[in-house]
Structure 1
Amino acid sequence: MWGMIATWRMALEGVTEAATALASGADTASAVVNAVAAVEDFPLYKSVGYGGLPTENGEVELDAAFMDGDTLAFGAVGNLVDIANPVKVAHALSRQRYNSLLVGQGAREWAISQGFAAKSMLTERAMQHYRKRCRETLDKGLSPYDGHDTVGIIGLDKQGSMSVATSTSGLFYEKTRAAGRFADYRLRLLLR
């Protein structure tokens, strides 16, 4: 028996492809990471990956985490700027013996040293949406949206192995994070 559960409609295409892979005997780690990466790659989602909304300083800061349910190997990145597919970086970090959680410039430098692609993650569409939201909320004295839109996916393969991954660009008008601060609520989501 195998299965996959995801948050939000935005994960449907990635989950559909990953489900086909799981049904064919793929391992859960690859399936989960590829499903989350599919969400990160879709530029119309404003809360995950490429096309995500910027922080108040105009940068798209990405967070992602991965955990292997068999070994409890864990990897995560926070405040990662201009690197495609942070979930793949988190997955790679989970295979490191030490330093499996990296943030900011250190996360970016490690990702580049491992061959991950540097890519501007801010799209014109996201910037337009950001400006519009500023006019609709902040300029009128209203609070930014304080809900959640992080994608999270849990998978179980035919061998009974489970993996989980999550990725986000954060909320609308998220404050630029203090140097080195990681969005700990995303870690709590993963480690529950």
Structure 2
Amino acid sequence: MTYAMIGTWAMALSGVQRAAATLAADGTAGDAVETAIQVIEDDPSLTSVGYGGLPNEQGMVQLDGAYMNGDNFQIGAVAGVEDVASPIALARLLAKERVNNFLVGTGAEAYADQHGLARKNMLTSGAKTAWQKRQVEVGQGGRLTPYDGHDTVGMIALDARGHIRVGTSTSGLFMKHAGRVGDSPQPGNGFYADSAVGAAAATGLGEDLMKRPLCFEIVSLMAQGMPVQEAMDKAVYTFIDQLQARNGAVGEFSYIALDHQGNFGVATNVEFQYAVFSDRVAPRLYLAMPGNDHHVTITPA
């Protein structure tokens, strides 16, 4: 009986710890993913996901999220939603629909209302203060960069019955243009899952991550027989080199993956923490460091 879970960044640990009980009690991968991500979405101390997420240039928190069922490839995704307490819950609902699986803005918010999902003001006082301070800095000639604030929480779960699910949730770039959407809710780019093979999820600079559907490519290489880490190395680092050569610059690229046997893989071009749990490993953080020639050195965090 194999079950396992992996999530992006140190913030994922609290969610993985909560969802561990679900998987250990023969719960579903879908419940584990939603539970884990909701823990992150509800934490006001985290500034890149859900409640507490940093706002766009207009001072509004616009959220993106997605969910994929690896059994049947059903996808639910939302982008640019405001005042929806749990984008992952909304995305999971949409994954059950035959059509209208990807909703944006007011349409997604109306769907949330129709289905009784919780709504609340997602702008915390701390996030508002950070926005006001940045407004002053920009007014005084300060320059915005892509790294003023962003990180996606991605979660992949495998349950004891062999079902795989993947989910993402993010508030995107701090001070982004209103309506800006990155890779996180885009299937193939921000996430992908196939229960017969495995799943992958991404985090980093969305404008670069969406230039190639690496999550889909990772799973496709695994389907061809590549071990999970080898598939990640081939897909991710090959493209990073191509992008650097052709574009002259590369943003943050970090990927996690899990195969249908519970094996993990990570690829990154920055220092990257991720959380892991399985029937063999208690919930814990690991640290991935990019090394020479793209060899990733992984040590316990």
Pairwise TM-score range, normalised by the shorter structure? over 0.9
The 8 Å contact of residues 144 and 173 in structure 1, kept in 2 or not, is answered as no
Q: Deviations over 1:36-92 (max 9, x none)?
A: 011000001111001111111111101100001111111001111111101000000
Q: State the Cα RMSD in Å.
A: 1.6
Please, which moves more after superposition, 123-132 or 71-80?
123-132
Kindly indicate whether residue 166 of structure 2 is the aligned counterpart of residue 164 of structure 1. Answer: yes
Q: What residue in structure 1 maps to residue 10 of structure 2?
A: 9
Change (3 A) 1:69 1:139: farther
The 8 Å contact of residues 138 and 144 in structure 1, kept in 2 or not, is answered as no
Kindly indicate whether residue 55 of structure 2 is the aligned counterpart of residue 54 of structure 1. Answer: yes
How far residue 105 of structure 1 moved from its aligned partner, in angstroms, is 0.5
Change (3 A) 1:122 1:148: closer
The structure whose Rg is larger is 2
The 8 Å contact of residues 137 and 144 in structure 1, kept in 2 or not, is answered as no
**Aligned equivalent of 1:153, options 155, 158, 163:** 155
* 3-state SS, counterpart of residue 53 of structure 1: coil
Structure with the bigger RCO (C-alpha within 8 Å, sep 6+) is 1
How far residue 137 of structure 1 moved from its aligned partner, in angstroms, is 5.9
Q: Please give the alpha-carbon distance, in whole angstroms, between the structure 2 residues aligned to 1:115 and 1:4.
A: 29
Please, which moves more after superposition, 132-141 or 60-69?
132-141
Give 1 or 2: higher helix fraction: 1
How does 1:1-192 map onto structure 2 within 5 Å?
1-136=2-137, 139-146=140-147, 148-177=150-179, 183-186=181-184, 187=186, 188-191=189-192, 192=215
How far residue 135 of structure 1 moved from its aligned partner, in angstroms, is 4.2
Please, which moves more after superposition, 82-91 or 140-149?
140-149
Name the TM-score, length of structure 2 as normaliser. 0.60
Gaps in structure 2 of 5+ consecutive residues: 193-214, 216-301
How far residue 140 of structure 1 moved from its aligned partner, in angstroms, is 3.7
The 8 Å contact of residues 57 and 176 in structure 2, kept in 1 or not, is answered as yes
Name the TM-score, length of structure 1 as normaliser. 0.92
Give 1 or 2: higher strand fraction: 2
One-letter code aligned to 1:151: V
How far residue 184 of structure 1 moved from its aligned partner, in angstroms, is 4.7
* 3-state SS, counterpart of residue 176 of structure 2: coil
Q: Please give the alpha-carbon distance, in whole angstroms, between the structure 1 residues aligned to 2:182 and 2:175.
A: 18
Q: What residue in structure 1 maps to residue 270 of structure 2?
A: none
